[in-house]
Structure 1
Amino acid sequence: MVRVYVESYGCTRNRADGEIMEAILLSSGYELAETPESADYVVVNTCAVKDPTEKKMAKRIRELIDSGKKVIATGCLVHVNPEAIDPRVSGMLGVKSIDRIAEAISVAERGGKLVSVENWRERNIDKLELPRLWKSGVAFVVPIGEGCLNACTYCATRFARGVLKSYRPEFVLKWVREALARGYREIILSSEDTGCYGFDIGTNLAKLLDEITAIEGDFRIRVGMMNPNHAIKILDELIEAYQSEKVYKFLHLPVQSGDNEILRRMGRNYTVEEFEEIVREFRRKIPGLNLTTDVIVGFPGETEEAFENTVELVKRIRPDKINVSRYSRRPGTIAARWKQLPGWLIKERSRKLHRLRLAIAYEINLSYVGREVEVLVHGEGKKGGIEGRTFNYKEIILNRGEKGEITEARITAASSTYLRGSLLRSLQRS
């Protein structure tokens, strides 16, 4: 029997795609290998969000082929820069063609090579109608859509994922109910931009959250990244939906720059002031909000003044976490044609912002020490101990705890990236 290993990189959306392919392979008579070493074929489900990531993907594919493995390349890199993929791969599938994974391996077994890189216009499948592999765990990713409504001048992911296609609420709810029935306690709502969910089908994210939180049971929902220009359109009802105890008090709202001119050049379609308004309203009505944002440093045209505007915004807003990215040119994007900043300057600005974000995060996390908080236990942690997530999705390492239970813990220590705590009591509710 042909054994296949699926190796997914990048966002939670890609992880869900990987599990769909695993389910299709199993139903088609293939065996899933536990490691790449024990597989005949390795499906490398790629990410292409940054240039360093692209290089990592290309290197991984070469390594596998050099080791004697047959490789099927899938994911965003197949769309964004197929030339970076080793021509020795046994097949290539775009993000809209993952339902053809069993076919790709069958073709390869017969000596052929299936290349299917249809775009969203040619093959607009609804992935929630495809099977999904169920694994043992606490968190389950539910894709709520694919593509976005933005046209950022630096982004190549949209070449792969296309224009927004929201999945119908009844399918989302079906998957949530099924996950809960199978014992999952955390639902991760994933999309390229959850903020614009439903705009193409006459609904929105807040209404979807209301429908999910109405489902019986004690579970938690983590809402994925949402862009400010969409979140602000439904701000009041979104905040109201967040007030449910089932929704983590976690907001991933990327600002990307603290300078309005750079935001204009990025094609972000909101201002710094609008970003701050969203944060201000969320913090006013959602106590303990955990704010994560994203910042790109070194974007073409970023002057010293523009960068300092970003630094000052970070000092004002004081996010719990900042994902700092060094700008890297992506093929086919508008920004790739503009004059680029020198690498040394981008690196210098990145380091400065990284130091600032760690200092702010440490001060915020230190303020939790001594507090008692609700925690959903995830299981054995990579840092040792038992890993969990607090009511606002902060990572916490506990001294003990049963996987999947909701508990109360006292925070005993903090670092800039996670908390430590001692379990006090179970809060299990029916």
Structure 2
Amino acid sequence: MATLPPQQNADSGLKERFFRYFQHEVTELQEEINRLADKAITGGERADGVEHCLAGIARLSREVKDASSYIPAYDQRTYSEAIKALNDKLNQARAAFAPRSKFSFKSSRQSGAISAVSHHKNPSAISLEDAAELASQQRLKLPGARQLNDATASSGDTSTAESSAFASPAAPGTPANEGAGDGIGNGGTSLSSQNGVGLDGHGGTAQDGFVNRHLSSSQQQGSPVRKPSFSGTSSVTIAGHSGLHIILPPTASHATSAGTIANVRRCIVDMSQPTAEANGGAPFAGLTVKNVRDSLLVCGRVAGAIHITAVEGSVLVINARQFRMHDCKNVDVYLQCGSRPIIEDCVGIRFAPLPDTYTHEDSSAQPNLWDQVDDFKWLKAEHSPNWSVLPVESRISEHVWKNLVPGSPDMGLEEIFKAVKIQPKH
């Protein structure tokens, strides 16, 4: 049986990896554009979203150019057509948002020109509808699609399709700046009330703001343990805290439509109880984690995607269908994931399977691709240096997860941090 020369074989692998990366990014950008209509005009949220989309399209265009050394010219043109379609889609969305004058007159010539443009379609262009189909059905005829699909089908691995198929909650358009977290834990106002909108993008802002202010209030001094119920809201936002052990009780199970953890420093946040099947809990529909440092987050179950941005020196425990991590450094992730985890612009990420303490009855029957990580900023054939498997001897024991992490009146935060191997406070 003939084999490809080593260089040709390597180039083929790079083309396939870039195809998978490109298909995911196109789908993500299209979803971001579609979500612009739901963003608030006040506070610059929509404008921020538009800028984020523009930056994403420009970055993807640059990456196509950077990949020109191993992508044939014909394939580059195909990718460029998809990027052009994204630009057109964004321009149409921006035009729809533009304020319209109360009275307007349109000449027949102008109407004809607009009609001609709107009905003209470059036959070689890739429609965004087809781009969306990429993730779930992989039918888009981009370069390498047939070969990649055949290889996937023969191996029985549908994880790549699953990784992109399920709609994700909006990742933050622009991460909250670090300065916003400098005064957290000192009775300051939570990010929810600062921004005037909930960080989770849903309702319940006043309630979330009240909960976060109450968690950090001086009246709560003494024990660092907090158990907010999030009564009166359908979502959870934990934002702007330092030095707290926050445990969501089972009674918060009604608030799992969405969740956000943002701007926390040296905290333990345990959201496993309201999402546990044993407690009759429901998983979060989606979860966003951003700007977290030196903390332990037990995120519970997530039915859809978890988006993690700007986390450093922390330990995460996650059971999610889709995992996406951006701009993170030195993080240990204990993971149950039904699709291939994705990281971008990360370094020092170590993965281990979900501890038995947090598994549920159906976990063993579900695929766990915790160690099948795709680094979308590492397109070389070699293994990415940005992530690794956490050695068994370095993993946290079940005794710690079961008996120490839940906390007790005679156990302080620093003792738990030491047990889960988070660096001591400087």
With normalisation by structure 2, the TM-score equals 0.27
| Higher Cα Rg, which structure | 2
> TM-score, normalization: structure 1?
0.27
Which of the pair is proportionally richer in helix?
Answer: 2
